[in-house]
Amino acid sequence: MSRNLPTSVARIDEDIAALAAITEPGRPYTRRAFTPIFLEGRAWLARRFEAAGLTVHIDAAGNLIGRRAGLKPDLGTIMLGSHSDTVPEGGRYDGIAGVSAALEVARALSDLNIALEHDLEIIDFLAEEVSIFGVSCVGSRGISGTRPSAWLARESDGIALSQAIETVGGKVAQDAIRSDIAAFLELHIEQGPVLENEALDIGVVTAIAGITRIEIIVEGRADHAGTTPMGSRKDALSAAARIALAVEAEASDLAKSDYHFAATVGEFRMEPNAANVVPSQVTMLIDARAERRADMEDFLARLSAKVAAVATETGVTVAAPRVLSDNMPTPGDADVLTVLEAACEATDARFRRMASGAGHDTAWMARITKAAMIFVPCVGGRSHTPDESATPQDIALGAAVLLEAVQRLDKDLQEKK
């Protein structure tokens, strides 16, 4: 569909192409946080922010921020953005689309000679992806006051995270927590196939799924694979396979509702892992994600019951599933979701409500402000791969939705104070 947009497809295309070219040699598209190539990308972004008329600085948490002053700065800040760091070999659009779209909102406001009442900030969060220190969302956790202090001592190649934050321009001794942010919006590629399959332009994200990781250890008995009768075995792998199939079945059942649910056996280790030995132990790690907390609790109950049943049926020993980490779902702010839907209608963007099965910086920003996000389509639903792709036209339309939403929030936030 041809649209006359207030946002520039060409400028967005230039942003993304330039950052894509800043990558580790032979590893497109790789700019992991804290690496020299990441800093090179950051420097390019800072120049791009400045060219758009923004005042640029690195905050105490290590985030790159471009600020456009409003007419009434006492009202607080409307913030837009995402991240420019990547997973290894797979970050041409993941995060980058959101930073470029946010920057394009600032450029379009200047093109249109629109002055906001609120300050506007464009942010490139530090280390949204899992970093070399084994932790993620470092910048958004810093702003929201949810970065564990113990993280600062984590090391990689003899360097502590605290030192790495200083290296990118942050100040770990200073308080990074923000109390002035009136609203936060993030655009992201969907990382799934729904929008493309339904020929829609925008996903209005109702919630970011909670993520629970569960460990199950199955204890069998090692025996000779050739001499032990089939009916006399305690095969840990056979029992674990039944549990893995139960994970798939229960998750598929819960996913039949209108709410997002998914579960995956993502790690699977077997001992002694020898061709002529009956497996004695299997350790499995389950990644489960739910838009509604009630669904996660239901899944955990079903899983515990299935594990007990498998242990009884097979004679192996299986401890109760152990929850290793458990993050609650983060709903989008109801008022901001309403504004985003109105912005979609105003820009003739075809949209639907949907949940995010992936984590995002928005989940942490929601701890301190009214926050929500939108998705734009990505080709084939592919993400975290060099094949990840989205069109500048789709991102420009998403930026136009953000532009409309920012102007509406600029008025609505004042009226509701």
Tokens 């993620």: give the residue: 136
Select from 127, 122, 138 the least CA-distant residue to 46.
Answer: 122
Residue 269's CB is within 10 A of a number of other CB atoms, namely 12
355 membership: H or E segment, kind and range:
strand 351-356
How many CA atoms lie less than 13 Å away from 185 in the CB half-sphere? Answer: 34
β-bridge mates for residue 287, sequence order? 213, 264
User: Does 129 carry a binding-site annotation?
Assistant: yes
Q: Return the amino acid letter for 89.
A: E
Distance CA 326, CA 100 (A): 32
User: Does 384 carry a binding-site annotation?
Assistant: yes
Question: Is residue 156 classed as helix, strand or coil in its secondary structure?
Answer: strand
Select from 28, 31, 33, 24 the least CA-distant residue to 131.
Answer: 33
User: CB burial class (10 A; 0-12, 13-18, 19+) of residue 89?
Assistant: middle
**Distance set, CA 284 to CA 103, 265, 382 (Å):** 43, 7, 26
User: Does 147 carry a binding-site annotation?
Assistant: no
Distance CA 394, CA 167 (A): 35
Angle at 106 between CA 61 and CA 39, to 5 degrees: 40
Distance CA 296, CA 384 (A): 25
Q: Are 40 and 22 in contact (CB under 8 A)?
A: yes
User: CB burial class (10 A; 0-12, 13-18, 19+) of residue 217?
Assistant: middle
β-bridge mates for residue 120, sequence order? 68, 78
* Phi, psi dihedrals of residue 111, rounded to the nearest 5°: -55, -40
β-bridge mates for residue 285, sequence order? 215, 267
Residue 308's CB is within 10 A of a number of other CB atoms, namely 12
User: Does 360 carry a binding-site annotation?
Assistant: no
β-bridge mates for residue 207, sequence order? 331
Q: Are 188 and 95 in contact (CB under 8 A)?
A: yes
User: Does 3 carry a binding-site annotation?
Assistant: no
Q: Which residues contribute to the annotated binding site?
A: 83, 94, 129, 188, 213, 276, 289, 384
Q: Which residues contribute to the annotated binding site for Zn(2+)?
A: 83, 94, 129, 188, 384
Q: Which residues contribute to the annotated binding site for allantoate?
A: 213, 276, 289
